[in-house]
Amino acid sequence: MNLPKLVHVKQRFPQNKIKNIELHVKEELKRNLPPIPKGQSIAITVGSRGISSRVLIVKTVVDYLKAIECSPFIIGAMGSHGGGTPEGQLDVLHSLGFTEETVGCPILTSSEVVEVGKTKNGFTLYCDKYAWEADGIIVMNRIKMHTAFRGPNESGLLKMITVGLGKAKGANQLHRQGPSNMSETIREVGGDFLKTGKVIAGIGIVENSFDEVANLEVIRPDEVTQQEQKLLEIAKSYFPRIPIEELDLLVIKTMGKNYSGTGMDTNVIGRNKIFGSPEPEKPSYKRIVVLDLDDASHGNATGIGLADLTTERLYQKLDKQKTYLNCLTSTYVQRGMIPLVLPNDKEAIYAAVQSLGIENPASIRMAVIENTLELEHLFVSEKIASEMNEKADIQSHPIELPFTEAGTLNLTISVH
């Protein structure tokens, strides 16, 4: 089969970033963290996202709290991720670089929650038992667009309170409300939880298009809701996308929870797969092939159902228990449905092209990306490279799509 030749292109993104993260975190803590009595235990939320400089940020917070004679510890705050078990969540944290040695404090994970109140609309306020037993909680999370809903507050500190601290019960309660009500729900649940006085501060992180920390703020509890909304607008301005709205075929080399909560970011690929919710008009990609699952996802292939075809390699890495739990908790079961499984990369890509029914396969509009988080570099078919003059620079001559004898795609995509 004659496929189109591909050209390596590099997108132009804003390069704002915090140069000295450790110093910046210390200054933010000095300025905005309220006085804490000596000897108090402070829980720090750490989720399953692959946040840039995550270990350095947390260790700096831990060291600061130790310096003022407090007793910090990390809690695994990731809803139903990690299979919803303490052992699974600890494995996720370890894979992200969080150990007692690297951060200098205990790491506690639990699937147990306590009920600490009700909202005016009857939502239960759940909290990780270890966090609730602490004297105070610092809620930390990356702020960005959510992959299922839109609103003034999306993925950030309020969601970390609602789902991260709420564990599987909190996640299930939120997702039962449906995408149209989720932003309002996290504002109600997260806002009421903040009123309990247990949260002493939030740490909101915004990354630039290179997955580097561009903004980091320590936020007082009464300012979390409003300040998160401002940081979300900043995050939207940095959000990286594929600079082509229409493709016949998108090949994604790797998916995983460390790249997006849905394995492949719905905002990048233009697919939601939520029953009763309309699909976005743009971007429009006729076929999506995903080739592999990152090991850091620990078998959780939530989002596999967003693709049309995949490989036996990915399928063999899939942990059904973890994937199904995640999809059932979110209620978005379509995202866990298995696409067509082909023996290797080459056959999956060829099958996708064949399914398009295009007379001349060499003419298709095609792109290959590493994952949906790292999009500075990508390969696109020769005929559409010229459309990207204002957004990207061409980095190579046109090349044939390279495969090994075993049918594995042998294409190196430089990532930042």
- Average pLDDT over the chain reads 93
pLDDT confidence tier of residue 415, bands split at 50, 70 and 90: low
Percent of the chain with pLDDT over 70: 99
Give the integer Cα–Cα distance in Å for 367 and 326.
29
Percent of the chain with pLDDT over 90: 79
83-115 burial by CB neighbour count: b if 16+ within 10 A, else e? bbbeebbbbbbebbebeeeebebebbbebebee
pLDDT attached to residue 69: 97
Q: Which of 141-150, 261-270, 300-309 has the lowest mean pLDDT?
A: 141-150
pLDDT attached to residue 80: 72
Q: Any idea what DSSP says for residue 238? A: H
Q: What is the mean pLDDT of residues 134-149?
A: 93
| DSSP states of 136-182 | EEEEEEE-B--SS--SSS-BSHHHIIIIIITHHHHHHHHHTT-HHHH
Which residues are within 8 A (CB) of 331 and not within 5 positions of it... i.e. 6 or more apart? 172, 175, 176
Angle at 59 between CA 54 and CA 62, to 5 degrees: 130
Pairing state between β 41-46 and 136-142: parallel
- pTM recorded for the entire structure: 0.77
pLDDT confidence tier of residue 79, bands split at 50, 70 and 90: confident
Q: Shortest CA distance to 241 belongs to which of 224, 265, 219?
A: 265
Residue 49 has pLDDT above 80, yes or no: no
Q: Which H, E and C letters describe 386-408, residue by residue?
A: HHHCCCEEECCCCECCCECCCCC
Encoded tokens for 73? 């510890």
Largest CA distance in the chain: 73
Say which residue, 278 or 285, is predicted with more confidence. 285
Q: What is the pLDDT of residues 14-23, one digit of tens each?
A: 889 999 999 9
Domains and CATH numbers, the chain: 6-12+241-394 (no CATH), 33-238 (3.40.50.11440)
